[in-house]
Structure 1
Amino acid sequence: MLRWLTTAALLAAAGGAAKQGELVIAPDGMRPSSIAGVPARLRVDPAAPGMPVLNPALAARAGLKPGPFAASYAVGPVTIAGRTAVARIDLGAGPIKRRVTWTARTYSDTADAVVGPGGLPDPVIRFQLRAPRPGERVVALPIAKAGGLFGGWGLTFAALTVDGEPMRVRFDPRRPTTATAGAGVALARAQGGALEGSPTTTDIAWGVQRPVRTLRLERPLIVGPIRLDRLLVRVSDYGGTSSIADAAAPPPDPDEVVVTAKGKRDRSRDVLTIGRDQLDRCSSLTFDKRARQVRLSCA
């Protein structure tokens, strides 16, 4: 469900000083923090898991010892094994005990650790991406229900209906707009569209590169003030894109392996990431846990 806000709510969401219970995150996302008493450069990132993810160097400096619970992250066919521990973490409001995770791979080259909005105690987290612009509109999307063993420790998704089914949406101001293969199929079926151009690669997470192609939509997907007509599609992650029309119909790539699952497709793996090419038009991105909404204010 997509919901427009009233004029009063729009003005309240458009920017300005933080309100009670609201944490405002600066455009660079950086917050003063420490892990187990060790100072750390931590970035609050709307595309990051709720469980704080530490680079291995920080975990070593903090002397963390892995506990009995392991974490595992899948980026297409690449599985990244992680360790977890309970540590005292200070995000600027005093130390609290929190489970953290780290892997052998470095998650971020610009921060020692990252955390998503689901891992913060504040009920409202507003990412102030840039100064508000005249003519901005605000749209509210429902927060998708968390699932899995760690529940809210995972990514915080919004929910959008595409092709009559719910699709999970996440927001990443540092990477381009991208869809998993299954999400690309659903978007092409609902909006019409074709793949164009040669396959390239793009960074997804933990430095993992995956093959993508450009999907051009005949009818743009409208998400409030956002008009999405082109995006990258991961051609062989969580399904395949063979059912999408090809604008140039090139010969198949002999190195590309497309797996087609039998039976009903698991649409819970369909994810649309709205990236920097769209969020550059937005002044703020707000995760309101009390209202269970994600709000975008964009020109």
Structure 2
Amino acid sequence: MIKAALAIAAMGVLAGETAPLAERIVAGDAIIPVTLNGQPGHLRVDPGAPGVPLVSADYAGRAGLKGGMFSLGYGVGPIRAMQSTAVAKLDVGQGVFKRRIGWGKLDYAPIADGTIGPADLPEPVVRFVLRAAAAGERTVALPMIDGGGMFGGFFGLYAQIMVGGQPMRVRFDPYHPRTLATAGAALRLAAAQEGRLSGESVPTEIVFGIQRPVRTMNFARPLELGPLSIATLGVRTNDGGNATGIAEGPPEKADPDEVVVVARGKERDPNHDRLSLGADQLERCSQIVFDKPAKQIRLTCR
């Protein structure tokens, strides 16, 4: 599995002066030293993390956080991981600033003292270096959007692609081994790429330690995402829709007319469709760059 950590490079600093860093470089194990209300700790920088830093209950207690009236519920299929929140003083190496922090009974990831995503880092550009650059790589620039809706910023930053004439959100998840699509996203991808399901459901960890049933879908026509060509992925068959409308069997025998999308548009919101690129795809990539001023995510892969 790809891992990632933090090295910092300053840009545009004159001799004898200090200035905020314009870019944060994340490489290695991605764990950075922080303080929360003055209490030292460590957070892992995760490109797929929500837009609120999520810390362990233990670290929240050490930092003296007290939950207020505003809480967050992150849905993983039918399961909600509830998070108490409070505004606290956070320092990730660029000085203290205020951020809403979440914590709960379930940890987003059981590593360090919590997780932080690029949306909550102060640098305008966050560059994840996943491995050394290789010959023949290409870079694709994708629009960068949030989770949508009034509270979309709380759900992190996504790339946007078009599938079946409608936009679809794509998150980058190098800490999980497999590329996954929610059921609604899988229905659209199956129709567009002649996808067919195969094999049995396998319990698969998504986030917060929560497992959901996942089946394999193979495409007769791979999904082209810049330099990546995705021929197979996992389908969260009951999350964000229902995948029973996807035909069964090997893609080489697929008849496009058999790939029937049975869900009606009024019964679900396509804005909830998600595709998460896991380590099986991202191991082919050397960099993911979140350029917040340009509202772009740039992916460099072979």
TM-score range, shorter chain: 0.7 to 0.9
Q: In structure 2, what is the Cα distance between the partners aligned to 1:247 and 1:151?
A: 37
Structure 1 residues 96-119: Cα deviation after superposition (integer angstroms, max 9, x where no partner): 121101111122222211111111
Are the structure 2 counterparts of residues 114 and 141 from structure 1 closer, same or farther at C-alpha, using a change threshold of 3 Å? same
2:27 paired residue number: 26
TM-fit CA distance, 1:18? 6.3
Q: Which runs of structure 2 are paired with 1:174-185 in the superposition (5 Å)?
A: 174-175=175-176, 176-185=178-187
Give the superposition deviation at 1:228: 0.2
Trace 1:1-299 onto structure 2 (pairs within 5 A).
Answer: 19=11, 21-175=22-176, 176-247=178-249, 263-299=266-302
User: After superposition, what is the alpha-carbon deviation per residue over 1:154-181, rounded to whole angstroms, capped at 9, x for unaligned?
Assistant: 2101100001110000000011100000
Three-state SS of the structure 2 residue aligned to 1:213 is strand
- TM-score, normalized by length of structure 2? 0.86
Offset of 1:213 from its aligned partner?
A: 0.2
In 1, the alpha carbon distance for the partners of 2:218 and 2:48 equals 24
- CA deviation after TM superposition for structure 1 residue 216, in Å: 0.2
Q: Which runs of 5 or more structure 1 residues have no equivalent in the other structure?
A: 1-15, 249-258
Partner secondary structure for residue 266 of structure 2: coil
- Secondary structure of the residue that 1:242 maps to in structure 2? helix
SS at match of 2:66: coil
Give distance in 1, aligned partners of 2:281 and 2:75. Answer: 25
Tell me if the contact between 1:171 and 1:275 (Cα under 8 Å) persists in the aligned partners.
yes
CA distance in 2, matches of 1:17, 1:39: 22
Q: Distance between the aligned counterparts of 2:179 and 2:96, measured in 1?
A: 35
The answer (yes or no) to whether the contact 1:75–1:204 under 8 Å persists in 2 is: yes
1:30-87 per-residue CA deviation (whole Å, 9 max, x = no partner) reads 1111111111111110110121001111111212111221111111100121111111
Could you state the TM-score of these two structures normalised by the residue count of structure 1? 0.87
Q: CA deviation at 1:153?
A: 2.9
Query: How many percent identity over aligned positions?
Result: 48
Residue 9 of structure 1: aligned partner: none
Counterpart residue type for residue 44 of structure 2: R
Please tell me whether the aligned partners of residues 73 and 81 of structure 2 are also in contact (alpha carbons under 8 angstroms): yes
Distance 1:18 1:142, change over 3 A: farther
Cα drift, residue 221 of structure 1: 0.3
Moved more, 37-46 or 262-271: 262-271
Q: Across the two proteins, how many residue pairs are aligned to each other?
A: 274
Tell me how far apart the structure 2 counterparts of residues 116 and 166 of structure 1 sit (CA, whole Å): 22
Unaligned runs of 5+ in 2: 1-7, 13-21, 251-261
Distance of aligned partners of 1:262 and 1:148 in 2 relative to their CA distance in 1, 3 Å threshold: closer
